[in-house]
Chain A
Amino acid sequence: MDFSDKIKRSVNNLPTLPTIYSQLSEAMEDPLATNDKIAKIISSDQSSAFKVLKVANSPLYGLHGKIDSISQALMYLGYNEVKNIVFALSIMNIFSKDKNVKGLRPVDLWAHSIGVGVITRSIGSAIGEKNIENYFLAGIFHDVGKLIFLEFAANEYQKVVEIVKEKNCRIKDAEKEIFGIDHAEAGRVLAEKWRLPQTIQEVIYYHHNGEKSKDASKLLASVHLGNILAHALGFGFAGDNIIAQPNPTIWSTLNLQKGSLLKLKDKLIDDYSHTIKLMLT
């Protein structure tokens, strides 16, 4: 049996995006939609609304408790950032949290992904990128392929985790051995089904390479580095312990100042611990 086909078929059985998200996207594309109307859509789902407020007030955005309504969140963070938070939160609900494989818990995987989101966003601001509203989401979403494996092939994924332990290899290599494809490819299938923005699709597929052929994308380079840093800082657990060497091309893409990574460390640890508490509980 060909697993890559099985995975692709299974992805088609995953629910479509939650209605709140599609309503939201639609309303945001409508030039006549008012702030109030958009706030109402979010508020119609109380648990989403509550979490959006918590995340909007997290140190990640530096607005410390100033935001007490959804319309304020929309005003201060912008439509897309709020939409991204709603999106990230709904994805977390789609995948079951109890598909445990011995040695890899979904909650640790989410912690890793949130960690990569936090770091990616900080790298975006550190390099002075103006448009960083997709950075957090791209980081959170880069490993979605692993959730697909857990959801649809938990027994085989157990074998993957055992191979990693035995060989001390990267999980993507063990996935290729068992499934014929790795989580980057599995994730892309889902990203296409959900018609995620092209940039996010590319991050999912190319996050191990850090570059896409000759395109130097700052977002992609930031997620690539964010993933490596999350491993180095021990943020969550993504299935293996290997800290990979970054693709050498990212340094000229990002043009980070000397010492930036060490300087960011304390803020990253602080933002990470706050954000996982908000999003995972």
Chain B
Amino acid sequence: MGVKTIDVSEITVGMELAEPIKNMHGQMLIPEGTTLAENHIRLLKTWGIKAATVNSEEGTTQVESASNLDFETMAILKKRINWIPLNEHENDIYNLAVQSISKQTKI
């Protein structure tokens, strides 16, 4: 079993969080391992959370997990991409950006 990051509109009851949901200040709102119920999903939308990482049968998607990236790359990436990849090509664009940015920060 892997994990995948999905858009909040695709979250359904019964999915299990693979990573905690945090607000923009880094405070935890829902802990990892929570099985999402109807009211959780409503809260996610109220809080304006755009995406969540959940456990998935399909194996890990290719989006590099935030924890694998250095802090500097992550900060630049956040300024440049404010969307969630919704298909494999968008994953590729995301990863190309990550590679290009981390190359720049390492020089």
The residues of A with any CB-CB pair to B shorter than 8 Å are 168, 228-229, 231-234, 241-246, 248, 251, 256, 258-262, 265
Contact = CB atoms under 8 A, between A and B. Distances in A.
Interface string B71-98: 0000000011111001111101101110
Contact of B93 (A243, A248, A258): A243
A259 B95 CA distance: 11
16 contacts: A228-B93, A229-B93, A231-B97, A232-B97, A233-B97, A233-B100, A234-B100, A234-B101, A242-B82, A243-B93, A245-B90, A246-B89, A246-B90, A261-B92, A262-B95, A265-B96
B95 A241 contact: no
Nearest to A269: B100
A245 B104 CA distance: 22
Interface residues of B, number: 18
Contacts of A241: 79-80
B86 A232 contact: no
Contacts of B80: 231, 241-243
A251 B87 contact: yes
The majority secondary structure among interface residues of chain B is helix
Contacts of A248: 86
Nearest to B101: A234
A171 to B, nearest CB: 14
A11 to B, nearest CB: 32
B88 A258 contact: yes
Given A241-B79, A243-B80, A262 B100 contact: no
B92 A246 contact: no
Instruction: For the complex of A and B, list the 7 residue pairs with the smallest distance between their C-beta atoms, beginning with the closest.
Output: A245-B83, A261-B92, A232-B97, A234-B100, A232-B96, A243-B80, A243-B81
B104 A234 contact: yes
A261 B100 contact: no
Contacts of A265: 96
A256 B89 contact: yes
A243 B104 CA distance: 16
